[in-house]
Chains A and B, each alone.
Chain A
């Protein structure tokens, strides 16, 4: 196998604080009652990639993730779980496991990716151009609950923080510019040399870096070795490679050239030139090659490397679980519009109710809902577009809309929950009204309280 796969599963992300905990690292957050990591693993398994390296931040988290993987995929995947210290960043994580990487190309996948784009497509684009790095871009997912107009407007304004500004060449195959994270706020700076070489650049803000990269191993390792300060793949390594694509400092990029020349010395020099001309004229060269050619069209004078992109088509689903908003969005989508990802079979009412779940009289479970194993609902409840985990006990007259309720949650009578996430073992006493709240694991919400847009978690954490 000439592709090696690294899944960066992360640790306990700070962004998701009330949801994740020591017990539940990010990778194990439930999406439609399955850990989010399972979506990536199954995507890879579907592509026949069965030798994986899963990198987890933190020893405890690694143990938990490893335990879960070995339980769930024992006979299907060959997974190596590696633990790296916390807060080393994605680049640091790769640096830590660099000695494990042997294949020519490395596929780096973020463990929080929920998508149905075949990684093979990225690999094919990577292979076709012989690129140093190929990134997958997808359109920015729709965020916020579909129903309530006011909150979606609010979320949209929150959203642009996580998307990218991306510059593409006219053929939409090469990455010319990428701004991520805090850089988006600043001015866009594009090198003249790139613009001059390409001629035209398309700048898009509607695309998102999906954190699925194919790297040339040699390139990746060299960058990681040389640039100790690089912490993040997305914010440091990728922009660096994109910036330097026309004045490549990678010595390895030159290596294949010398190697080739070594072999071609059999051929008289003049024929070599002729041959390269022969090939250059009939193939459509990318701007990299044109630029490297130099003015007289002879042997390459400048070193370049290619940064390619694969843009997933609009009809594919692709989202990253990197914020609380994204968590509820993905939960909604996986049992809603992207239901093929969940791997469950839907009932005629377009919802999933586990056979062991018990419903009281006059209780309705609407479309795009999911009821986990052993959950009990009292009378006159109403559940819409929500996921309810395993062994939850929900009293009578409870409304659950656009929410995620994890496992072993107790919700007493008369509660109303909207747009919220309630973590495992939480307890909601009678007549609690929650809107856009996150309730941490094991938290007890006292009866009659009303909250709107708040984090509710135990103090000690």
Chain B
């Protein structure tokens, strides 16, 4: 994980890559600086902007706080090493992945001699950093001539690298480069290939099994819910089974029959809404018949399409036909649908409160066990809520918590005791995971606000607001820039409240963010979720703000409660997102005369896309402030893994 991350050096925003660039070329541009100081000055001159500027324009660590320097190991070393050559040696000794980076640098210097293979070289070394050193040597198009051209540069580096590798590798790299070249293709290659492949498969399968086992805990109650709500259950089953077979049919590799069987056990990720057959089937079983959304955006067909205009009357007209849903849950669902409740925390709390009410009014039917029947009930509520609006990740997590609690109830416990226990469990969850977590986050985050700071925030995040108010109460002197965006203008409410409390604020739209970023010293953002690769999933526009901040070397701090973390890995905001009402982006608030898009649905070659969330790569995030402290984005999986029990129980 670490190695991969470092190899993904953030693209320096000043060296913007436009068009098609080979990964190697990219790499040696950004990397040639550190080593090029002695061997290849021309290279560093050629490289367009970033590195030629860096010696001059190294931003003095604006914030003396150590946390930032530590939490941003990526941006800092590059500029550091250009300044102080000795640092390079230190770094090489410290971590293996740093050494590999240096190797990449050398490959860049070798480029002077032979420009063609430098790319291969970097490929090879990048692979080597991922631990498959020997096996990838031949396949990487390794060329002995390349090694010979600049042995002084490569060999020592390899040595250093190899010092942390198994002995066999040391032997090979011990200067006899030619030998290495001869040996590898013949003997080691096929053998190693096979073992690695097998290993890989074994690993994959064990992981899959583990995953299935893990998910089974969450899915079992849902599967067991059968009896009470046959129709919904069917629907949900359909949804569940759909992608599994899709995935299986996608694997047209042919000979993998056992693989297919295994795939069936894997809980499929999500319903893909662009698979016609499956959607048809799901539709037939759906509680409310969804209507075909017109003018769907091609790239986002797989997401549940936004159908508010038709969904609300449909739900309304079926109000009495649907399976009985507890009034409190109904209320919350309609509030989601109407947009009365927005925001991960609020939606989650509202849902949990509704479940509390439902549990309070729940009475176990005879001949049933509480755990099963209540789980079924909760599942039917959840599917109702999901129909009103796709669940947020925070909600998903808290549902998981609740079901887990229900499943863990001892069989001997009486009904009223169980209900009381669940009631107080939900209270505890809200209290500890949301309210107290917010408090802790606020305390942590406030330490990052100093006198004279200019803070920027985007949209509205409850924690960020509380942080600012808390820091203001502490007497810190700072200014706030509220960046906002169409169509929700959530920042305006925030701005109003901040100004009321006496903070000095600026307000701007997101299109002016690069203009205002000059004066900003810190960016505070909220998040809907953080994935285990450190990707921040948040209100659309957040990624843009974070990237601009990164370009201006302004630290980006994400405030997010740990209960919103998710073990999923997401690289983009396409494969999983939520679609909003396309109509709202065709209108301008308060300007009825701007009506050029009024009948856009009739135009076949026009699609409007209103995405709700976007994904910010972890590269642009300096620090995540969570209830377990302030951590770099790389630590998210640790929290997800280590505190899982702590989180869900």
Chain A positions within 8 Å of B, measured between CB atoms, are: 1-3, 47-49, 104-105, 118-121, 123-125, 127-128, 130, 263-264, 266-267, 271, 274-275, 278-279, 281-284
Contact = CB atoms under 8 A, between A and B. Distances in A.
B319 A120 contact: yes
Contact of B343 (A2, A124, A263, A282): A282
A275 B321 contact: no
B622 to A, nearest CB: 26
Nearest to A284: B340
Contact of B334 (A119, A127, A274): A127
Contact of B493 (A104, A263, A279, A281): A281
Central interface residue in B319, B342, B349, B434, by most chain A CB within 10 Å: B319
A22 to B, nearest CB: 35
Q: Of B313, B316, B339, B341, which is in contact with the most chain A CB atoms at under 10 Å from its CB? A: B316
A123 B341 contact: no
Contact of B427 (A118, A130, A266): A266
Interface string B317-346: 111110010010011001100111111011
A80 B512 CA distance: 66
A120 B334 contact: no
Given A120-B319, A121-B316, A282-B462, 6 more contacts: A3-B320, A48-B320, A128-B335, A279-B349, A282-B345, A282-B460
A77 to B, nearest CB: 13
B342 to A, nearest CB: 6
Interface stretch (B375-383, B435-443, B589-597): B435-443
B315 A124 contact: yes
Contact of A279 (B324, B346, B439): B346
A104 B327 contact: yes
Contacts of A125: 316, 334
B431 interface: yes
B119 interface: no
Given A127-B330, A271-B436, A281 B321 contact: no
Contact of B342 (A49, A121, A283): A283
A47 B346 contact: no
A275 B349 contact: yes
A312 to B, nearest CB: 11
Contact of A284 (B312, B319, B339): B339
Contacts of B339: 284
Interface string B395-422: 0000000000000000000000000000
A124 B388 CA distance: 12
Contacts of B319: 47, 118-121, 123-124
Contact of A127 (B331, B343, B427, B465): B331
Most chain B CB inside 10 Å of its own CB: which residue of A104, A105, A284: A284
A264 B320 CA distance: 32
A424 B434 CA distance: 70
Given A271-B431, A275-B435, A282-B346, A124 B335 contact: no
A335 B399 CA distance: 51
25 contacts: A1-B324, A48-B320, A48-B321, A105-B327, A120-B317, A120-B321, A124-B319, A125-B334, A127-B327, A128-B334, A128-B340, A264-B427, A271-B435, A275-B435, A278-B434, A278-B435, A278-B438, A282-B341, A282-B342, A282-B460, A283-B341, A283-B350, A284-B339, A284-B340, A284-B342
B424 interface: yes
Nearest to A118: B317
A283 B346 contact: yes
B497 interface: yes
Given A124-B319, A128-B334, A282-B342, A274 B350 contact: no
B153 interface: no
Interface residues of B, number: 40
Interface in B455-485: 460, 462, 465
A283 B427 contact: no
Contact of B431 (A124, A267, A282): A267
A104 B313 CA distance: 23
A47 to B, nearest CB: 5
Nearest to B434: A278
A47 B315 CA distance: 11
A294 to B, nearest CB: 15
Interface of B is mostly: helix
B320 A47 contact: yes
B435 A2 contact: no
A278 B345 contact: yes
Interface of B: 312-313, 315-321, 324, 327, 330-331, 334-335, 338-343, 345-346, 349-350, 423-424, 427, 430-431, 434-436, 438-439, 460, 462, 465, 493, 497
Contacts of B334: 124-125, 127-128
A278 B349 contact: yes
Contacts of A275: 349, 430, 434-435
Contacts of A281: 346, 460, 462, 465, 493, 497
Contact of B439 (A3, A264, A274, A282): A274
Contacts of B324: 1-2
B464 to A, nearest CB: 11
Contact of A123 (B320, B350, B427, B462): B320
Given A2-B327, A278-B345, A121 B313 contact: yes
Nearest to A120: B319
Contacts of A121: 313, 316-317, 319
Contacts of A128: 331, 334-335, 338, 340
Contact of B340 (A47, A119, A283): A283
A278 B394 CA distance: 15
Contact of B438 (A1, A267, A274): A274
Contacts of B434: 275, 278
Nearest to A171: B338
Contacts of A264: 427
Contacts of B431: 267, 271
A263 B422 CA distance: 13
A120 B318 contact: yes
A49 B322 CA distance: 11
A255 to B, nearest CB: 15
A120 B314 CA distance: 10
Contacts of B423: 263
B542 to A, nearest CB: 16
B435 A274 contact: yes
Contacts of B438: 274, 278
Contacts of A118: 313, 316-317, 319
Contacts of B424: 266
A266 B423 CA distance: 11
Given A271-B436, A283-B335, A278 B346 contact: yes
Contacts of B318: 120
Nearest to B317: A118
Contacts of B346: 278-279, 281-283
Candidate in A1, A105, A120, A123 with the most chain B CB atoms within 10 angstroms: A120
A2 B343 CA distance: 29
A60 B570 CA distance: 72
Contacts of A105: 327
Nearest to B339: A284
B320 A120 contact: yes
Contacts of B342: 282-284
Nearest to B347: A282
A53 to B, nearest CB: 16
Nearest to A275: B435
A340 to B, nearest CB: 14
Contacts of A127: 327, 330-331, 334
